[in-house]
Amino acid sequence: MTIRNVRDHGQRYRPRMECLKKVEAVMLEMQDPKTGVKSQPQRLVITTIPHVITGEDIVTWLANRYSIEKEEACSLGTMLVAFGYIYPIQDHKRLVIKPDASLYRFQTPYFWPAQQWPVEDTDYAIYLAKRNIRKKGMLEMHEQEQYNSLHKWMNHKWDFIVMQAKEQYRAGKERKKPDRVVFDCQERAYWVVHRPPPGTISAMDYGLERMVDPNTEEKQTSDYFRRIIIFTQQSIMRPRVKSSVSIGALVKYSITYYKHDPFLTPCLPSNSWVTDDVTFWMLNMTNVETPTKMRVERWTFSFGELLSDPRGRADFRLFLKKEFSGENLAFWEACEDLKWGTAATMNEKAQQIYKTFLARGAPRWINIDGKTMEVTVKSLKHPHRYVLDAAQTHIFMLMKKDSYGRYLKSPVFKDTQKRAIDPNPHRFSVTQLEANARKRRPSLSPIIVRQQEEEERARMATSGPVDITQLCRFTAPVPHLAVYSGPLSSPPFPICLPHTPACPSPISVTIDSTPSDRRWEDGGGAGEREAVDQEGRGMAVSSRSRVALSLGRLLRRGCNPSTVFASLSPKCPAPAGTSSRVQPISTDQTIQAPPRSIANFFQIKVDIPPECRIYPIDSEDEEESGGASKGIGGEGETEGQVKEIICPWECLTPHQGAG
Q: By CB under 8 A, what part of segment 48-67 binds other proteins?
A: 49-52
Going from the C-alpha of 468 to that of each of 367, 427, 450, 596, the distances in angstroms are: 14, 51, 29, 11
Quick check: 5 binds other proteins (CB under 8 A)? no
**By CB under 8 A, residue 117 contacts other proteins:** yes
DSSP 29-94: HHT-TTTS---EEEE-SS-EEEEEEEHHHHHHHHHHHHT--HHHHHHHHHHHHHHTSEEESSSTT-
Q: Residue 92 or residue 210: which is nearer to other proteins going by CB?
A: 92
Find the shortest distance in angstroms from Cβ 421 to other proteins. Answer: 42
Q: Which of 169, 257, 428, 493 binds other proteins (CB under 8 A)?
A: 169
Find the shortest distance in angstroms from Cβ 430 to other proteins. Answer: 14
Contact map string, positions 252 to 271, toward other proteins, x by CB under 8 A: --------------------
- Do the beta carbons of residue 23 and residue 85 sit within 8 Å? yes
Q: Does 166 bind other proteins (CB under 8 A)?
A: yes
What is the nearest approach in angstroms of other proteins to the Cβ of residue 101?
A: 14
Q: Is the Cβ–Cβ distance between 287 and 309 less than 8 Å?
A: no
How far is it, in rounded angstroms, from Cα 95 to Cα 87?
7
Q: Report the nearest approach of other proteins to the CB of residue 108 (Å).
A: 5
Residue from 18, 71, 145, 167 in contact with other proteins (CB under 8 A): 167
Is 92 a binder of other proteins (CB under 8 A)? Answer: yes
Binding-site member from 11, 19, 22, 108 for other proteins (CB under 8 A): 108
Phi-psi map region of 84: left, alpha, beta (phi>0 left; psi -120 to 50 alpha): left
CB 574 within 8 A of CB 522: no
Nearer to other proteins, 185 or 283 (CB): 185
What b/e string do you get for 559-581 counting C-beta neighbours within 10 Å, with b at 16 or more? bbbbbbbeeebebbbbbbeeebe
CA distance between the termini of the chain = 73
Minimum CB–partner distance for residue 147 and other proteins (Å): 7
Q: Which 173-202 residues touch other proteins, going by CB under 8 A?
A: 173-186
Q: Give me the least distance between CB of 72 and other proteins, in Å please.
A: 24
* Least Cβ distance, residue 75 to other proteins (angstroms): 23
Least separation in angstroms between CB 183 and other proteins: 7
The pattern of x and - marking residues 372 through 411 that bind other proteins according to CB under 8 A reads ----------------------------------------
| Among the listed residues 26, 36, 337, 400, the single contact to other proteins using CB under 8 A | 36
Q: Decide: 420 and 295 in contact? Cβ < 8 Å.
A: yes
H or E stretch covering 361: none
Residue count (the chain): 659
Residue (48 or 345) nearer to other proteins, CB? 48
Could you please report the per-residue DSSP string of 198-260? TTPPPS----S-BSS-TTSPPP--HHHHHHHHHHHHHHHHS----HHHHHHHHHHHHHHHGGG
Q: What angle do CA 250, 255, 260 make, to 5 degrees?
A: 110
Contact indicator for 133, 169 with CB cutoff of 8 Å: yes
Closer residue to other proteins in complex, CB, 107/270: 107
Which region, judged by CB under 8 A, interacts with other proteins, from 165-173, 262-270, 494-502, 648-656?
165-173
430 binds other proteins (CB under 8 A): no
Q: Do residues 566 and 360 lie in contact, with contact meaning Cβ atoms separated by under 8 Å?
A: yes
Q: Smallest distance, Å, CB 413 to other proteins?
A: 55
User: Per rule CB under 8 A, is residue 107 in the interface with other proteins?
Assistant: yes
Is the link from the previous residue into 109 a cis peptide, with omega within 30 of 0?
Answer: no
Residue of 106, 124, 191, 365 that binds other proteins (CB under 8 A) = 106
Binding residue (CB under 8 A) for other proteins from 44, 249, 461, 652: 44
Between the alpha carbon of residue 535 and those of residues 113, 526, 527, the distances in Å are 75, 14, 12
What number of other Cβ atoms are within 10 A of residue 55's Cβ? 22
Taking CB under 8 A as the criterion, which residues in 125-144 touch other proteins?
129-130, 132-137, 140
Report yes or no: 408 and 400 within 8 Å, Cβ to Cβ: no
**CB nearer other proteins, residue 389 or residue 434:** 434
> Binding segment for other proteins among 124-132, 191-199, 351-359, 470-478 (CB under 8 A)?
124-132
Minimum Å gap between C-beta 25 and other proteins is 11
Q: Taking a C-beta distance cutoff of 8 angstroms, is the pair 180, 172 a contact?
A: yes
Query: Given candidates 5, 33, 245, 430, which one binds other proteins under the rule CB under 8 A?
Result: 33
Work out the burial of residue 319: count CB atoms within 10 Å of its CB; fewer than 13 is exposed, 13-18 middle, 19 or more buried. buried
CA distance 317 to 124: 52
| CA–CA dist 49, 181 (Å, integer) | 9
Q: Does 145 bind other proteins (CB under 8 A)?
A: no
Residues 8-27 that bind other proteins (CB under 8 A): 27
The answer to whether residue 498 forms part of the interface with other proteins (CB under 8 A) is no
Q: CB nearer to other proteins: give 179 or 223.
A: 179
Sign of the dihedral defined by the CA atoms of residues 266, 270, 274, 280, in that order:
negative
| 89 is a site residue for other proteins (CB under 8 A) | yes
Q: How many residues bind other proteins (CB under 8 A)?
A: 76
How far is the C-alpha of 361 from the C-alpha of 562, rounded, in Å?
A: 6
Nearest CB to other proteins, comparing residues 126 and 329? 126
Supply the minimum distance, in Å, between the C-beta of residue 2 and other proteins.
6
Pick from 5, 32, 217, 522: which binds other proteins (CB under 8 A)?
A: 32
